[in-house]
Amino acid sequence: MPFRIATFLIASLAIGAGAVGIFGWKFGWLGAWLGAVLWLALDAWRAERLLQVLRNDAAGLPTRGPGVWGELSERIRKLLRDREQQTRQAEDRLQEFLAAIQASPNGVILLDEQGRIEWCNQTAAGQFGIDAERDLLQHLANLVRDPAFVAYLASWNYSRDVVIDASGPGHTHQRSHPVRLSVQVHPYAGNRRMLLTRDITALEQAEAMRRDFVANVSHEIRTPLTVLAGFVETLQNLPLDADERTRYLALMGQQSHRMETLVNDLLTLSRLEGSAAPSGSQWIRIRALLAQCEDEGRGLSGRLAPLGHRLSFTIDAESELSGAPTELQSAMSNLLSNAIRYTPGGGEVAVSWRVLPDGRGEYAVKDTGPGIAAEHIPRLTERFYRIDRSRSRETGGTGLGLAIVKHIAQRHGAELRIESMVGKGSRFALVFPAARVREARVLAK
Ligand SMILES: Nc1ncnc2c1ncn2[C@@H]1O[C@H](COP(=O)(O)OP(=O)(O)O)[C@@H](O)[C@H]1O
Ligand SMILES: [Mg+2]
């Protein structure tokens, strides 16, 4: 201010002195005052201009002009520029932060003190069928009507989560199973709440499968165990002659053998699940694998059917297969033993190996058995899934064979193909990728 007053004084003195010089003392003072008023008017005009620009648009500030107003506008301009930059940076950070939450596979919803939606990510919007823009500031309890959820939200006791069905359109209609959501609320900043949702469908399904599996195993073991216990009781309580004893003991042997097979299959499965996939460096000749199959097959056929089966084994191209020998043998024998066990005596079972035009190798077992209805086919590889339970049991099946085959196939990158028609027989094939098949080095008879 002193600077301004000084400027004002000096200017009016200068103009005054000039005026005195020209007009003499009489009109000189008048001139000085006129000058001062003019100066003031000019000053006011420049201040007004600055104010006007500030009111409307800071970018329109005059670039550095002369004097105080020039400096003032320059400083304001700089301050505003810094502030603008800060705001932009903060905005960018916020956007990045929101993008990160958007990318989360979990749903996130922020509620204000009244329980209205302040923000939600796409995942949550999809799960609840909320429109992230249209439903803003709507009460969440009005949009998600699940009674368990509404009660949970109103309870203000969020020590545990609540599990509900997803209600979003994409999450219910197009799927056979409803999507299950675990929702947990976390209060923050006083009465605000953050909802986190997690899709636990797969988790629940895995849990259900585990329960089924345990129930199945228990059931499978209990059956022979009950029979065994019955025989033990008979042996203890009844006086039996040597022949009867032998017969009973043979039956007991059968039951314990059944349990043993089951436990072995279970162990095989868990080994397959728990170990790394076999490397591609070990090569086994198809002829050797098929020879073993033939041995086992003829033995089984002879035991099961007095007539036996017409078994044939053909190899189109002498090849080698890479993988784990015991696993490959087990998968191939499993398919053959099924064909023999489910095809009545006198039927035909043809085992073949061929290399397809694209280099893949196919091991196939074709039988003239009862065939399998289409609805069963997709489920055959499920553990303990059997079409004819008693036939499976009678012939020593555990219901785990095809589950094991499927696992082994997957580990070798192979595909299990099942074709069947009721009354016509079935064809089970394992198609191995070309990378695991090569021509046999040494040709043997
Ligand atoms: N070649 C086949 N012909 C008819 N049914 C078959 C054949 N192979 C498998 N199945 C059916 O698939 C079911 C599952 O087979 P698998 O997993 O090997 O168990 P299992 O121990 O009962 O043989 C069998 O119980 C049987 O009903
Ligand atoms: Mg089987």
DSSP 341: H
Strands, DSSP E only, in 316-384? 319-322, 348-355, 361-367
CA distance 52 to 71: 17
Q: Whose CA is nearest to atom 14 of ligand 1?
A: 386
Q: How far does Cα 431 stand from its chain's mean position?
A: 28
The response to whether residue 392 sits with its C-beta less than 6 Å from ligand 1 reads yes
Q: What is the SS3 assignment for 347? A: coil
Which domains does the chain possess?
2-96 (no CATH), 104-199 (3.30.450.20), 203-275 (1.10.287.130), 278-445 (3.30.565.10)
CB 183 within 8 A of CB 165: no
* Residue 386 Cα to ligand 1 middle (Å): 6
Q: At what angle do helices 67-103 and 2-56 cross, to 10 degrees?
A: 40
In this prediction, residues 74-83 reach a mean pLDDT of 88
The pLDDT tens digits of the residues spanning 393-432 come to 788 889 999 999 999 999 999 999 999 999 999 999 999 9
The response to whether residue 127 sits with its C-beta less than 6 Å from ligand 1 reads no
Q: What is the pLDDT of residue 57?
A: 65
Ranking 54-63, 92-101, 194-203, 370-379 by mean pLDDT, the lowest is 54-63
Confidence band (pLDDT; 50, 70, 90) for 87?
A: very high
The response to whether residue 323 sits with its C-beta less than 6 Å from ligand 1 reads no
CA distance 336 to 130: 54
Both tokens of residue 344?
């009545």
Confidence band (pLDDT; 50, 70, 90) for 173?
A: very low
Q: What is the pLDDT of residue 395?
A: 80
The response to whether residue 425 sits with its C-beta less than 6 Å from ligand 1 reads no
CB 432 within 8 A of CB 327: no
> Cα dist. 33→39, 107, 329 in Å?
10, 75, 117
Q: Whose CA is nearest to atom 18 of ligand 1?
A: 401
The response to whether residue 369 sits with its C-beta less than 6 Å from ligand 1 reads yes
Both tokens of residue 293?
């199959």
- In our burial notation (b when 16+ CB lie closer than 10 A, e otherwise), range 79-103 reads eeeeeeeeeeeeeeeeeeeeeebee
**Neighbour order of strands in the sheet with 283-285:** 283-285, 319-322, 437-439
| Residue 393 Cα: closest atom of ligand 1 | 22
The pLDDT tens digits of the residues spanning 108-157 come to 999 999 999 999 999 999 999 999 889 999 999 999 989 999 999 999 99
* Residue 419 Cα to ligand 1 middle (Å): 13
The response to whether residue 399 sits with its C-beta less than 6 Å from ligand 1 reads yes
Q: What is the pLDDT of residue 45?
A: 85
CA distance 321 to 278: 12
The response to whether residue 351 sits with its C-beta less than 6 Å from ligand 1 reads no
User: Is 1's pLDDT higher than 70?
Assistant: no
The pLDDT tens digits of the residues spanning 276-323 come to 889 888 999 999 999 999 999 999 999 988 889 999 999 999 999 999
The response to whether residue 426 sits with its C-beta less than 6 Å from ligand 1 reads yes
Both tokens of residue 177?
């199973």
The response to whether residue 342 sits with its C-beta less than 6 Å from ligand 1 reads yes
CB 247 within 8 A of CB 212: no
Output 38 or 59, whichever has higher pLDDT: 38
| Residue 338 Cα: closest atom of ligand 1 | 8
Q: Whose CA is nearest to atom 25 of ligand 1?
A: 386
Q: Whose CA is nearest to atom 1 of ligand 1?
A: 339
* Mean of the per-residue pLDDT values of the chain: 89
Confidence band (pLDDT; 50, 70, 90) for 19?
A: low
CA distance 361 to 370: 27
- In our burial notation (b when 16+ CB lie closer than 10 A, e otherwise), range 212-237 reads eeeeebeebeeebeebbeeeeeeeee
Strands, DSSP E only, in 304-375? 310-315, 319-322, 348-355, 361-367
- In our burial notation (b when 16+ CB lie closer than 10 A, e otherwise), range 350-365 reads bbbbbbeeeebbbbbb
Closest listed ligand to the CA of 337: 2
| Residue 335 Cα: closest atom of ligand 1 | 8
